[in-house]
């Protein structure tokens, strides 16, 4: 336990540059006196850690200190390579070089255990290029100019400050500060139609924590599907939300937002979905189906 804390102190100081004894004590849930004892132990083993007293004092590591590779265990090396394996996804030679160099440094073989593709079917080069540019913009704090199709079907140009790539419910988003709206926004990557990486840089900032209140407006939806549609039901719903009937049909129960999205979602199943609850949703769907029929009636 103590050895683990000693390493964590080193990692923390490498990341932050310095810390106070109180800061470390709170982080590792020990007393400040224990932290000072830990610092003495680290110093006695040759780790160049030192303390400075005074108003702006603290605990520091020498700026040129680098962890010896032997500190990382064999299992940790394998975990690092396994995690990086999932990031060597976009065709890029320098990423493959990084993997080869780390494998040689760790003296361990990298197992090709995972394959992930960010692109949509039939659009791999364009999607991967977009993802790579957005990632570069985030890492280098560079602005990008995009052409974006909003949820109202309008397309406009805007300059944004990209902060983080975000994956949620089968879709990629970009968290950013939008200069057009003068506010923080999330952009769906598939709706970014054009993009240009600018030389202009911005100061890093945190995307604000947005309280998810969507569940408060969600409605309990109960749907029944024929067993022939099970492949899609298991794609769309969690196993705990699905009940298998005696005849093999599937009943799915979930909380969903009752809006235009839900209507379009249910229509995507055609005639292969039966609404059990709420009953009034049947009328809404029937009315929408009538409107579609009138529009395309020959």
Q: Nearest to residue 282, comparing CAs of 260, 297, 295, 266?
A: 266
Looking at 45-92, list the stretches that DSSP marks H as alpha helix, in order from N- to C-terminal side: 74-85
The pairing of beta strand 183-188 with beta strand 192-201: unpaired
Does 52 or 78 have the greater pLDDT score?
52
Give 18-66 pLDDT, tens digit per residue: 889 899 999 888 998 999 888 888 888 778 888 887 777 889 888 766 5
pTM: 0.50
Per-residue model confidence as pLDDT tens digits over 163-189: 998 887 677 899 999 999 999 999 988
Going by their DSSP bridges, the two strands 155-168 and 171-178 should be labelled as antiparallel
Assigned token pair, 53: 């007293």
């Amino acid at each position: 336990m103590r050895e683990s804390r000693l390493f964590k102190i080193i990692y923390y100081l490498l990341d932050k540059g310095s810390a106070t004894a109180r800061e470390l004590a709170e982080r590792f849930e020990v007393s400040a006196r224990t932290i000072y004892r830990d610092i003495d132990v680290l110093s006695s083993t040759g780790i160049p850690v030192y303390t400075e007293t005074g108003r702006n004092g603290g605990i520091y590591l020498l700026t040129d200190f680098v962890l010896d590779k032997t500190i990382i265990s064999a299992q940790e090396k394998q975990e690092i390579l396994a995690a990086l394996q999932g990031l060597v996804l976009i065709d890029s030679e320098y990423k493959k070089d990084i993997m080869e160099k780390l494998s040689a440094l760790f003296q361990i073989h990298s197992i090709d255990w995972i394959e992930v593709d960010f692109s949509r079917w039939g659009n791999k080069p364009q999607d991967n290029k977009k993802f790579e540019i957005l990632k570069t913009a985030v890492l280098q704090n560079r602005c990008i100019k995009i052409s974006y199709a909003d949820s109202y079907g309008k397309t406009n140009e805007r300059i944004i400050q990209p902060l983080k790539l975000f994956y949620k419910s089968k879709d990629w988003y970009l968290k950013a500060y939008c200069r057009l709206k003068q506010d923080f926004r999330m952009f769906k990557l598939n709706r970014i139609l054009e993009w240009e990486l600018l030389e202009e840089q911005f100061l890093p900032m945190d995307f604000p924590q947005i309280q998810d209140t969507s569940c408060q407006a969600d409605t309990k939806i109960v749907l029944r599907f024929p067993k022939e549609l099970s492949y899609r039901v298991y794609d769309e719903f969690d196993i705990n939300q699905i009940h298998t009937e005696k005849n093999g049909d599937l009943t799915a129960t979930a909380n969903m937002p009752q809006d235009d999205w839900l209507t379009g979602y249910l229509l995507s199943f055609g005639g292969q979905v039966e609404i059990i609850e709420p009953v009034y949703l049947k009328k809404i769907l029937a009315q929408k189906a009538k409107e579609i029929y009138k529009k395309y009636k020959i």
